[in-house]
Amino acid sequence: MGNNHVTVLEIDLNSIEFNLNYFKSKLHKDTKILVVVKAFGYGSSAVEVAKFLESKVAYFAVAYLDEGIALRNAGIKTPILVLHPQEANIEQIIKYNLEPNIYSIKLLKAFIKKTTNLGLQKYPIHIKFNTGLNRLGFNQKDISELLSIINNQSALKVTSVFSHIAASEDLNERKFTLQQIYKFNVVSNEFIKHLNNIPFKHMLNTSGIINYAEEAQFDMVRLGIGLFGFGNNNIETSKLKNVLTLKSVISQINVINEGESVGYNRAFTAKSTIKTATIPIGHADGISRQFGNGLGFVFINNKKAPIVGNVCMDMVMVDVTNINCNEGDDVIIYKNQEHLEGLAKAIDTISYELLTAISQRVKRIVK
């Protein structure tokens, strides 16, 4: 699969290592690192990234069961936290030795039932507290019930307790974030005090490491987008190396005369004679239709070529009137962090969404 390798996403492992070391340099020596490789490793390749980092980090996290199974099937032995498991996943979670985030009493009870039936002892689980994101997790009022259930069984063991910050990248929300951190300290301490073992704690994502390493480092951090070169602000991003480059080639060059239209719905009409290049990448590959009509641009021979008309499912046409180029020449769709961040802003979204939208039809190549 994969456009016969013409349209490719290059993954630079050296840059990943550089970025990992950059975040490590912000942390205490003994702080564990969990790398989040959900959504195919932020659109890269979860398997390739995990293989590369297996010996360098303590944990991996995925959002869903299937993502964890893919890592195990690729031979990854590192502990894997499943951030958003469902009751229906429990059997498979155990089969693949994955470690669930337990976020509700219902899920906890179902997990105990299954592990007890299987005669398991001390199966690792992770307890999530909601401290303000209001997405998943237990609240302070749940602690006594949680403890009475957990302390009356031996099939499960609480390996860690954690929480997630709602606006770690936004320093205008610093007061709220410090409240979240305070809350996490209170609930996690209250919980752990009555527990039979001492679990480790974690709270920080990429921007959390950048902005709250002093206040909330705890025992582990959960690094996601930062590994791929994005620090959620220009200064931090400029200190990181570019990991992902989305590339293709020119399939065909067309001369469009004045009055002729280009593409579906005839969204573009030439006001004078122009030259377009057709590129084999479209909205089915993750190039949003919102990039049509000049909002998006690619690089050809180091020059900007804006998208002409609507983005098609499998192709885009770009304006190369002022670019010296030929059929078969390289096209860079996402050049680096700055290019991708600019494109994301142009359509009112974030780097996370553009990266994870790059569809599985695009061949991933490790450099």
**Among 122, 182, 239, 264, which one carries the catalytic annotation?**
264
Task: Name the H helices within 125-169.
Answer: 143-150
* By CB under 6 A, residue 130 contacts ligand PLP: no
- Phi, then psi, of 33 in degrees rounded to 5: -115, 125
Question: For residues 350 and 353, what is the distance between their CA atoms, to the nearest angstrom?
Answer: 6
Determine contact, residues 275/326, Cβ cutoff 8 Å.
no
Token pair 């909002």 is found at 295
* By CB under 6 A, residue 300 contacts ligand PLP: no
Nearer to ligand PLP, 146 or 165 (CB): 165
Nearer to ligand PLP, 19 or 115 (CB): 19
- On whether 313 is known to bind a ligand per the annotation, the reply is yes
141 in catalytic set: no
The sign of the torsion formed by the CA atoms of 57, 88, 39, 221 equals: negative
**DSSP string of 164-201, one letter each residue:** --S-TT-GGGHHHHHHHHHHHHHHHHHHHHTSSS--EE
Q: Can you name the residues that pair with 262 across neighbouring β-strands?
A: 268
* By CB under 6 A, residue 163 contacts ligand PLP: no
Stretch that binds ligand PLP, among 9-17, 217-225, 277-285, 314-322 (CB under 6 A): 217-225
* By CB under 6 A, residue 85 contacts ligand PLP: no
* By CB under 6 A, residue 50 contacts ligand PLP: no
DSSP percent split of the chain into helix, strand, coil, nearest 5: 40, 25, 40
* By CB under 6 A, residue 224 contacts ligand PLP: yes
26 in catalytic set: no
Q: What is the smallest separation between the CB atom of 95 and ligand PLP, expressed in angstroms? A: 23
Q: What is the smallest separation between the CB atom of 266 and ligand PLP, expressed in angstroms? A: 40
Stretch that binds ligand PLP, among 223-231, 273-281, 288-296, 318-326 (CB under 6 A): 223-231
Long-range contacts of 89-92 (CB under 8 A, 24+ apart): 89/64, 89/65, 90/114, 92/65
From residue 170 to residue 209, the character string flagging contacts with ligand PLP as x (rule: CB under 6 A) and all else as - is: -----------------------------------xx---
From residue 17 to residue 46, the character string flagging contacts with ligand PLP as x (rule: CB under 6 A) and all else as - is: -------------------x-x--------
Stretch that binds ligand PLP, among 23-31, 137-145, 222-230, 263-271 (CB under 6 A): 222-230
* By CB under 6 A, residue 137 contacts ligand PLP: no
| Total of chain residues touching ligand PLP, rule CB under 6 A | 11
Quick one: which of 46, 47, 158, 223 contacts ligand PLP (CB under 6 A)?
223
- Phi, then psi, of 92 in degrees rounded to 5: -70, -35
- Strand runs (DSSP E) across the chain, as ranges? 8-11, 32-36, 59-62, 80-82, 99-102, 123-128, 156-162, 200-202, 220-223, 244-249, 252-256, 261-262, 268-269, 274-279, 297-300, 303-308, 316-319, 330-334, 363-366
Q: What is the smallest separation between the CB atom of 253 and ligand PLP, expressed in angstroms? A: 39
Nearer to ligand PLP, 3 or 349 (CB): 349
Q: What are the residues whose beta carbons fall under 8 Å from the beta carbon of 168, sequence distance 6 or more?
A: 177, 204, 205, 206, 207, 208, 210, 211, 212
* By CB under 6 A, residue 164 contacts ligand PLP: yes
Stretch that binds ligand PLP, among 92-100, 224-232, 261-269, 277-285 (CB under 6 A): 224-232
Nearer to ligand PLP, 131 or 276 (CB): 131
* By CB under 6 A, residue 126 contacts ligand PLP: no
Which two three-digit tokens encode residue 67?
């993502």
Q: What is the smallest separation between the CB atom of 73 and ligand PLP, expressed in angstroms? A: 22
C-alpha to C-alpha distances, 30 to 81, 151, 217, 260, 326, nearest whole angstrom: 20, 29, 11, 64, 53
* By CB under 6 A, residue 112 contacts ligand PLP: no
Continuous segment of H or E residues that includes residue 234: helix 234-238
Site residues (vs ligand PLP, CB under 6 A): 36, 38, 83, 164, 205-206, 222-226
